[in-house]
Amino acid sequence: MRTPMTIADFLDRAELGFRGSPGVVDEPRQPAPPVPVASYGRFAERVRAWQAGLDALGVGEGERVAVVSHNSARLLELLFAVPMSGRICVPVNFRLKPEEVDYVVAQSGASVLLVDPELDDGLSEVKAPHRFVLGEQTETGLMRFGVEPRPWSQPDEDATATINYTSGTTARPKGVQLTHRNIWVNGMTFGLHTRVWEGDVYLHTLPMFHCNGWGMPYVMAGLGVKQVVLRKVDGAEILRRVDEHGVTLMCGAPAVWNMVLDAAATWEGEIPGRDRVRIVCAGAPPPTRTIQRVEEELGWEFTQLYGLTETSPLLTFNRTRPADAALPAEERARKLSRAGLPALGVQLKVSESGEVLARSNTVLDGYWDKPEETAEALEGGWFHTGDGGTLEPGDGHLTISDRKKDVIITGGENVSSIEVEDTIFSHPAVAEVAVIGVPHEKWGETIKALVVLAEGATADESDIIAHCKQHLAGYKAPTSVEFRESIPRTATGKIQKFKLRQPYWPGVERGVN
């Protein structure tokens, strides 16, 4: 027997087995009236009200519904409601500029645009055939409570469920088509590797627009896990909610955990969640010092994954193995800084050019309305990640060395900017760092470090360079250091190095030599 694996499976089980259990706790401080704490039974009723409202608008199966919102219970509901009815949800990065949001809405051909009230004024010129502000307007003007929505006429696991736009390394984002099958397999595999169970409490520290919150909302619902919504990331607020709600699991980029570590320094009393909380880190390779501090100062279990929007996102998972538990903390942290072992059902290999290639049921169906880019990304039956890496022959773990375009070639030698960044970050005066290649007449490229100093700390260019030369081969040390107040990142914690390089490569099409 074969039945289609769709997003509905997760909510159907939640409503059946956990109808009266706490389902979603909305952000209490937001411009729209928060959704009252909802059991999974009430959550499912609200999902059906969204679907009935879209029916009333005449939005058909396969049409796109775009949502631009901070984390909220309403966004969480729409991640279920839209694809479960055979439509396609387009969660949009709320940090994009209006013209960028307009591009996403237009390129996806969205029939409906739903906007967070805090973003409404700034996005007033972004239009769609139907446009609503989330909150009172959607509660009374769109949702149809007590009306049974029409069922999806022919549930299909290979149908596109969401279109998630990339935010990383190209000027124009591409719409990643994730199918119900992609999301289903990702959710189940993620739940297995993170050991999710009914007694967990999940805090949404990760933006839900980013790869559908990495797919965690689905598996959490399917296992009846209480989900607590955090609208905006704040280190002290994360600690407070871990304490208040008994949180056991969170996901986020390294920048999130650095914020928590900073807040913990002034937290009064015992750090909440010690020996209980599990965190999953991705978005950028974390420095070993950050990993060690999470485990020692917070007492939280650190795990890492590697993946991309195009892979739903899970490709690898890394947790300290029992055999490594007795290793010194620094050595355990070093091992955890690797991307990890391929997740169940994932095949990886490294091409002759050093690029990581992947095969999995979580790999995208294609880029929306971009057949040439799709063919290029899936050439040869493998997804081309664009990341450089190595697979360790001893234990099969993947280590990401760099985005291929971010490898710095100086004097014919390849230098991983990540390796240099990790070394610079180990300097006690450094809070943030980004390493880029800049043009050099003799060497082709030379290494430049952009550094943010920790509050109250002092260091100069010679200190940073000397520190690198002490720990790295001489050719890997930066030849110049520029001190900055901050380093811009995407909403998912990634540093867009193509933007950082631009000022140093005037009049040049590519930012490498």
Q: How far is CA 137 from the centre of its chain?
A: 29
Question: pLDDT of 174-210, one tens digit each?
Answer: 999 999 999 999 999 999 999 999 999 999 999 999 9
CA angle 146, 151, 157 (to 5 degrees): 135
Query: CA–CA separation, 380 vs 256, rounded Å?
Result: 37
SS3 assignment, position 474: helix
- For residue 28, report the phi and psi dihedrals to the nearest 5 degrees: -75, -25
- For residue 435, report the phi and psi dihedrals to the nearest 5 degrees: -115, 130
Give residue 512's pLDDT.
56
381: tokens are 């039956």
Q: Evaluate whether 414 touches 383 at the Cβ level (below 8 Å).
A: no
Q: Kind and range of the H or E element at 375? A: helix 371-377
Residue (of 307, 261, 315) closest to 284 by Cα position: 307
- Rounded to 10°, the helix 73-84/8-17 angle is 120
CA angle 295, 297, 302 (to 5 degrees): 20
Q: Check: pTM over 0.75? Answer yes or no.
A: yes
List where CATH 2.30.38.10 sits in the chain. Answer: 347-402
Q: DSSP of 82-104, one letter per residue?
A: HHHTT-EEEEE-TTS-HHHHHHH
Q: Topology of 347-402 in CATH? A: Luciferase; domain 3 (2.30.38)
Residue (of 227, 286, 222, 278) closest to 254 by Cα position: 286
Extended beta strands in 332-471, E state: 341-342, 347-350, 355-359, 366-367, 383-391, 398-403, 408-410, 413-415, 430-440, 444-453
Q: Does domain 407-504 have CATH number 3.30.390.10?
A: no
Question: pLDDT of 411-431, one tens digit each?
Answer: 767 788 888 999 999 999 999
SS3 assignment, position 231: coil
Give residue 227's pLDDT.
98
List where CATH 3.30.300.30 sits in the chain. Answer: 407-504
Residues of the chain predicted below pLDDT 70: 167-171, 405, 412, 508-513
Query: CA–CA separation, 210 vs 110, rounded Å?
Result: 18
CA angle 79, 47, 133 (to 5 degrees): 70
Q: Which residues contact 260 (CB under 8 A, 6 or more apart)?
A: 235, 238, 239, 298
